[in-house]
Structure 1
Amino acid sequence: MRTRRHFIQATAATTLLGSLGLQTARAQGLEQVKIVNGFPAGGSADVTSRRIGEKLGGSVYTKNAAVVENKTGAAGRIAVETVKNAVPDGATLLLTPYSMMSIYPHIYKQLSYDPFKDLTPVCMASMLTHGLAVGPMVPASVKTVKDYLAWAKANPKEANYGSPAAGSTPHFLGALLGLESGVDLKHVPYRGSIPGITDVIGGQLASMVTPHGDFLPNHRAGKLRIIATSGKTRSPFVPEVPTFAEQGFPDLVVEEWFGFYAPAKTPAAVVANANTAINAALKEKSVIDSLALSGMVPVGGSPEDMAKSMQYYFEFWGPLVKKIGFTAES
């Protein structure tokens, strides 16, 4: 695929122009801002949107706290398209995991947006790791990934896993686990984490791969069991759970961020103001504590930082998607 280096250069230029116009934009401040995300209420995307949105009011960016709209459907693409087509005045932001930007271009031949042209990076918000959890369909004796794979191989009709969206990072983590182990794990896509977790707890679904923070309340209540996390090191939120790498799957080390985007052609000064306000919100103790409850940590940084990370993951996932062999027509 063609290089996206020009995108990073353009983002750097946008940041520079934003600093030049910052004083003018500070005096103006938007009356109301809306944050659109593509997943249901209660999940990691929703928590990130609401906790940060609550803190934006009274900032250089906007006078009032942001309104959050959960625009679910099409594996998160409807939300992206909504913001792509919004008026580029800074009043509408997208909050999305990097999947929709860095992975989807590899799997959708007719993707309805170009993440490098139709949207402008504003700020990375939160970082998370994913987890593999099993529910009551899987015997209590299954405590590790290898235990689960052995059970799945012996029970092929029940050997399935859910994810919050087809083509998402959790979907591909499960697919890579199946490929590397030689076990046929059937994928079941959902509209977000919560519906899939509900089915795991209810015994209709064997397992789920999704942001591990979405499992935490039910894991602690004993309603499901997290058996692996995808970080470089163990999660501080479930330190008793070993990583995939510790359990013999080093290729399943993946961390993912949620980030804010504005429509392309949003004034540079407004993007700079939004970035300033979001970075300030991420330093608030109440935001840090709320993110921790969902297994996330704040990130922040500049639009250029976000563009570089987006480019990195675009290149990282390309060969893996090819290895998995998934396309939107699969």
Structure 2
Amino acid sequence: MTTRRQFAVQLTSLAALGTGTFSAAQAQQQSDLARLLVGFPPGGSTDNVARRLAEKLRGTYAANVLVDNKPGAGTQIAVSALKDAAPDGTTLLLSPPSPFTVYPYTYRKLPYALEDVAPVSMACTFPFALAVGPAVPDSVRTLQDFVAWAKANPGKASFGSPASGSTPHLVGSVLGKMAGIDFTHVAYRGDAPGLQDLMGGQLPAYSTVLGSYLPHLKSGRLRLLAVSGTERSTFAPDLPTYREQGFALDMTEWFGVFVPARTPAATVQRVAEAVRAAVAQPDFARGLAEFGMTARSSTSQELVTRLRAEAEQWRAHVKNIGFTADT
């Protein structure tokens, strides 16, 4: 089990992963079959990206690449399955960073440790965004407008997210702390019911990834107020960032590929090269753009560096808002 105290120590070991003693000769030949684990059910954004990635890896990295959905516990089941898999390059994981950057600070214990996985490459990035619906007066058009309205109507200042403890939930809570408003959270089971309540006027505001809003913009039943990141999104170029409006919420979401720890360095490199080649293909990028995502790869070391930085960022945020996922 991993405790919060152990987390900082495990971070320092990430850069050394991928140099285990498992025979590299076993990974030199193209595998007949590889599994790409996903910690969410079919049909979601992670699953959609995984299926596009698997298609690109099929016939190049392995003769066949199957997406293996293992939903539950916010990807902890899938991460645990990766931990227990043979370090031979036949089992990969596509995951958001939260199991490694957020959960160590929101859970007292985890069924895996950071040292159980080896980061390989990013696959895509995408920002978070905040929207309001008909429950908020039409005059509220900016984030500052919303903060002023929330302070004037404390009993109505609530927001939804796709799940308790999800990064969209925490982004909204951090905003509330920064703005000095009592921002009550309402947890949903995914974006679909939350957005339905937002657009139906039962919920004032909603926090999730930008791509979830894009299909609904033409309906006129929601208004985007802010997007995370250090710069505006190409998918909503007129939408100001949180930072532009006075709130330093620069965090963005991403999906990355991981393999089991002790995977030989040569195998990690082979996986990384295959993923980067897949992500670089124009039709892969076009497919992700439908979900408001930008295709982007990285080196293993770049991913390690990003994990370290984001873990430290979330450590401070979680401590500040006082959230815990343990019941």
TM normalised by structure 2 equals 0.88
* Conserved? CA contact 1:11–1:307, under 8 Å: no
1:21 and 1:111, CA in 2 relative to 1: closer, same or farther beyond 3 A? closer
Query: What residue is the counterpart of 2:46 in the other structure?
Result: 45
Matched, 1:281 2:278: yes
* Conserved? CA contact 2:116–2:261, under 8 Å: yes
Unpaired stretches in structure 1, ≥5 consecutive residues: none
Deviation at 1:139, TM superposition (A): 3.0
1:13 and 1:92, CA in 2 relative to 1: closer, same or farther beyond 3 A? closer
Q: How high is the sequence identity, in percent, across the aligned residues?
A: 44
Deviation at 1:70, TM superposition (A): 3.7
| AA matched with 2:87 | P
Q: Any idea what SS the aligned residue of 1:78 has?
A: helix
Distance between the aligned counterparts of 2:198 and 2:180, measured in 1? 23
| AA matched with 2:269 | A
Query: What residue is the counterpart of 1:311 in the other structure?
Result: 308
Query: What residue is the counterpart of 1:200 in the other structure?
Result: 198
Query: What residue is the counterpart of 1:25 in the other structure?
Result: 27
Alignment of 1:108-123 (within 5 A): 108-114=107-113, 116-123=114-121
* Conserved? CA contact 1:42–1:194, under 8 Å: no
Query: What residue is the counterpart of 1:236 in the other structure?
Result: 234
Q: Any idea what SS the aligned residue of 2:92 has?
A: strand
1:188 and 1:69, CA in 2 relative to 1: closer, same or farther beyond 3 A? farther
Query: What residue is the counterpart of 1:35 in the other structure?
Result: 36
Query: What residue is the counterpart of 1:160 in the other structure?
Result: 158
Alignment of 1:168-207 (within 5 A): 168-207=166-205
Deviation at 1:41, TM superposition (A): 4.2
Which of 138, 146, 152 pairs up with 2:136?
138
1:78 and 1:13, CA in 2 relative to 1: closer, same or farther beyond 3 A? closer
Q: Which moved more, 1:164-173 or 1:3-12?
A: 3-12
Query: What residue is the counterpart of 1:91 in the other structure?
Result: 90
Unpaired stretches in structure 2, ≥5 consecutive residues: none
* Conserved? CA contact 1:72–1:191, under 8 Å: no
1:293 and 1:117, CA in 2 relative to 1: closer, same or farther beyond 3 A? same
Q: CA RMSD in A?
A: 2.5
1:144 and 1:229, CA in 2 relative to 1: closer, same or farther beyond 3 A? same
Matched, 1:3 2:9: yes
Query: What residue is the counterpart of 2:63 in the other structure?
Result: 63
1:81-139 Cα distance to aligned partner (Å, 9 max, x none): 2322334333332211111111111121112211x211121211111111011223333
Distance between the aligned counterparts of 1:271 and 1:49, measured in 2? 18
After superposing on structure 2, the runs of 4+ consecutive aligned residues of structure 1 that deviate more than 4 Å are none
* Conserved? CA contact 1:75–1:191, under 8 Å: no
Distance between the aligned counterparts of 2:123 and 2:289, measured in 1? 13
* Conserved? CA contact 1:8–1:308, under 8 Å: no
Alignment of 1:231-310 (within 5 A): 231-249=229-247, 251-310=248-307
1:46-84 Cα distance to aligned partner (Å, 9 max, x none): 23212212111111x2112x3324433323323322322
1:205-260 Cα distance to aligned partner (Å, 9 max, x none): 332211111211112443422211011111111011111111121x2121232111
Which of 127, 130, 133 pairs up with 1:129?
127
TM normalised by structure 1 equals 0.87
1:275-303 Cα distance to aligned partner (Å, 9 max, x none): 11111011110111112222221221222
* Conserved? CA contact 2:18–2:118, under 8 Å: no
1:125-182 Cα distance to aligned partner (Å, 9 max, x none): 1111110112233333221112222333344444222223333322221111111222
Query: What residue is the counterpart of 1:214 in the other structure?
Result: 212
Q: Any idea what SS the aligned residue of 2:118 has?
A: strand
| AA matched with 1:327 | T
Q: Any idea what SS the aligned residue of 2:62 has?
A: coil
1:308 and 1:295, CA in 2 relative to 1: closer, same or farther beyond 3 A? same
Query: What residue is the counterpart of 2:322 in the other structure?
Result: 325
* Conserved? CA contact 1:131–1:229, under 8 Å: yes
Q: Any idea what SS the aligned residue of 1:259 has?
A: strand
1:97 and 1:194, CA in 2 relative to 1: closer, same or farther beyond 3 A? farther
* Conserved? CA contact 1:76–1:165, under 8 Å: no
